[in-house]
Structure 1
Amino acid sequence: MIKEWNLLRFIACLSIVFLHSTTQSARVLGYPSEEIYQFFRILLCYATPAFIVLSVIILANRYPDKLPEKFWVNRIKWIYLPFLFFAILDAIVGKYFNPNLLIGQKIIDNIITGKFVGWFIIVIFQFYFLHYLIIRYKLSLKWLFPISLIIMFGYSNYALENPIAMEGYSHLLKLPFLGWFGYFTVAFLIGKHYKKVSHFLFKYRWLTLVGFAVSILYLYASFKSGNLEVNSRRLDLFPVVISFSSVVIAWGQLLPRFAFVNLVSTYSFGIYLIHWQVLRFLAPYTANYFAHPFAHVLALFFITLLICLVIIKLITLIPYGDFIVGKVKKKPVKEAEIKKWPSVA
């Protein structure tokens, strides 16, 4: 795996766990009143779109012209089956915390409308199909790219500005690929022309930092204007996601491979699916030892990450464990073998 991809996946994975640590901490201790804390939570929402972008980059880079045999079978086994497993587990855990929960309806909602942390997998499968259509019919990104931006911003603006029309259909804000279309086309272009793009970004790596800084200032201006929503669907996150990904691609080429980065990157899919449940059980207990919100968030983050790593390692040791946490590399393999494995970034 290209090392800057591992680095981007590593940072995005930790960002998601940290963001959700603040969410679960708030449920037992409340949110700190500091403005910068609230803005930082919004900034961390870049992580899920970054996962989606990386997934498309890898897909376009590996399969720019043709999908391999068993492409769909492998993704059903190692991506969709874990999605189903955790959709059911989320309902069971929800029933534990809320005895009045209708577990059957919750399972259906999780699977169909993505009402749990695994919802992004539904988006990624739509992107798999879009990728297939582009390479099957040789669609030109010259016209698809600008159209995708128009569609994404138009759809998202309508959905966000007409809450009454979307009442009862909140899943339509995040699940249809229309709301993520621009991310897909940008990532597809990066992946298909990765050598040229990565060389260009490396050459102008200092400018990537400038672009990232400007995108954060834009997000902060939006925050100060009253846009306080903490979710990954914010359109003002689009430049943050693309610029941050550019920073990691550019500067990640200078860094050596770190064992811990590779470990978390390899386990990232499982961490993404497991961490929310660990946080739900852990937060009330850690609050007994860390009463200050900042200390509690940090403790919750590190302990949750450690527990997730241990759980995933144990699951990979049992038969068919890959169907629960996805395909996990158990020993060093050649790059050609890695390419056979599906990835959701």
Structure 2
Amino acid sequence: MRIKEWDLLRVVACLSILLLHTTTFNNLFRGVTENSTFVHFARILLCYATPTFILLSIIILAARYKEDVPAKFWSSRLQFLVLPYIFWGITDALILEWMYQNDALYDSILSNIFTGGFVGWFVLVILQLYLIFWCMLKFKWSQFIVLPFSVLLYFLHHQLFSLPYEFFQENFIFQKLYGTAWLAYFAIAILIGTHYDKLRPILKKYRIGTIVFTALAGFYVWINFQQGQTDIHSRRLDLVPFVLGLTSMILAYGQVIPHFKITRIISKYAFMVYLIHWNLLNLTSKYFVEYIPTSSIRIIVMFVFTLAMSIFIAKLISYLPFGKWIVGKIR
């Protein structure tokens, strides 16, 4: 099943996270600690990308498997999701050790793989949500029970980590790794994916409404921003309606926008762009900052270079006999 608006949503989310991290490294190597109000707010909105990528992963599963999961469900994901995650987690640790000589290679590898210490941490979240989905179909769990309970656990998770107790403060850095931190997106994705055949024409018909909803959701984030919620991360509760709005808008307009070749190409390599781009930025950003004085031009050049190089590297590796276990199944 190949649905063009899914490709578009994957591409927009992928490019958004790349743009967010490009601005992060631009600021890091320029020594900037604060942005203008507009740039800071834009960076908050760009944080929608990771939950959208997680959301889309479950939407596709729910649309494809409505009664049962195939026998090779887990073996396929082990080969084309977990193995690339491990490879790039080790690669990230090697690059950090080469750059900073911390004599902590072993600890970095363990941290990357088991506690999501690098940019690929979202894979650990997706695997947990895959397990819940697998259990739902395998043991015939009712959506009427699982989905409301998922939303309840989602809000409970975030309330617990806002409490001033030592355990939650010490483990705050790991809270993004728990599947409970993303269960609201899981519930939304199950509903969208399960009923996508019926939902698709409705989104297309009322696509103007998706723009209005997204704008209102963005305005809600702006209100919270003005009231002091300036933290930049993807776990913000006020991003949930924005993610839902932007997802619905792209799924709606993706049906009427031509399926460009560039969209198909980036969609194929989106997973690798996610896993490779951080290290490329880490290795090259200081040179862009040194030789390109204008921030806006620098960010554009860094963005295009990193995207192109991520795809190029993944393409080269895919030609190796064992390449599919490093870059996944690139069709």
5 Å matches for 1:107-146? 107-146=109-148
**1:12 and 2:13 aligned:** yes
Q: Retained in 2: the 8 A contact 1:48–1:232?
A: yes
The 3 A distance-change label for structure 1 pair 24 and 101 is farther
* Aligned residue in 1 for 2:29: 28
1:211 to 207, 210, 213: 213
Shift, 1:262, TM fit: 0.5
Query: 71-80 or 130-139: which moved more?
Result: 130-139
Shift of 1:161: 4.2
Q: Is the 8 A contact 1:173 1:233 kept in 2?
A: no
Match of 2:47 in 1: 45
Whether the 8 Å contact between 2:67 and 2:137 is mirrored in structure 1 is yes
Q: Is the 8 A contact 1:29 1:291 kept in 2?
A: no
Q: Name the CA shift for 1:274/1:78 in 2 (closer, same or farther; >3 Å).
A: same
1:305 maps to 307
**Residue in structure 2 matched with residue 341 of structure 1 by the alignment:** none
Q: Could you give the per-residue CA deviations for residues 304-343 of structure 1, whole angstroms, max 9, x where no partner exists?
A: 11111111111111111111111101xxxxxxxxxxxxxx
Partner of 2:156: 154
Cα deviation per residue 1:46-78 (whole Å; 9 max; x = unaligned)?
000000000000011111111112111111011
Query: Using the alignment, how far apart are the partners of 1:30 and 1:218 within structure 2?
Result: 31
Shift of 1:137: 2.4
Instruction: Indicate the residue corresponding to 1:192 in structure 2.
Output: 194
- How many equivalent pairs are there? 329
- Counterpart among 62, 65, 69 of residue 63 in structure 1: 65
1:236 to 235, 238, 243: 238
Counterpart CA distance in 2 for 1:93 and 1:49 is 27
Contact 1:16–1:47, Cα closer than 8 Å, also in 2 = yes
What CA deviation, in whole Å up to 9, does each residue of 1:99-141 have, x standing for no partner? 1241111111111110111100001111111111111222222
> What is the one-letter code of the residue matched to 1:84?
I
TM-score (norm 1): 0.92
- Give how far 1:156 is off: 1.3
Shift of 1:293: 2.4
CA shift at 1:284, angstroms? 0.6
* 2:104 counterpart residue number: 102
**CA separation in 2, counterparts of 1:188 and 1:283?**
39
What are the equivalent positions in structure 2 for 1:217-232 lying under 5 Å apart? 217-232=219-234
Structure 1 segments unaligned to the other structure (5+ residues): 330-345
Report deviation, 1:154: 1.8
1:148-181, CA deviations, whole angstroms, 9 ceiling, x for partnerless residues?
2221122113213437432442343101111101
Report the CA distance between 1:201 and its aligned residue.
1.4
Distance change in 2, residues 1:227/1:164 (3 Å):
farther
Cα distance change on mapping 1:157 and 1:97 into 2, 3 Å: farther
When residues 100 and 132 of structure 1 are mapped into structure 2, their CA distance, relative to the original with a 3 A threshold, is same
- Percent sequence identity is 39
CA contact (8 A) 1:287 1:296 kept: yes
User: Do the aligned partners of residues 168 and 94 (structure 1) sit closer, same or farther apart at CA in structure 2, a change above 3 Å counting?
Assistant: farther
Q: Give the Cα separation in 2 of the matches to 1:142 and 1:174.
A: 26
Letter in 2 for 1:218: Y
Question: Does the CA-based 8 Å contact 1:64-1:135 persist in structure 2?
Answer: yes
Residue 339 of structure 1: aligned partner: none
Aligned residue number for residue 202 of structure 1: 204
TM-score relative to the length of structure 2? 0.96
CA RMSD of superposed structures (Å): 1.4
Q: Is the 8 A contact 2:69 2:138 kept in 1?
A: no
- 1:13-51, Cα deviation, whole Å (9 max, x unpaired): 000111010111111113463100001111000000000
Report the counterpart of residue 285 of structure 2 in structure 1.
Answer: 283
Kept in 2, the 8 Å contact 1:114–1:171? The answer is no
Cα offset, 1:229, TM superposition? 1.1
Show the counterpart of 1:332: none
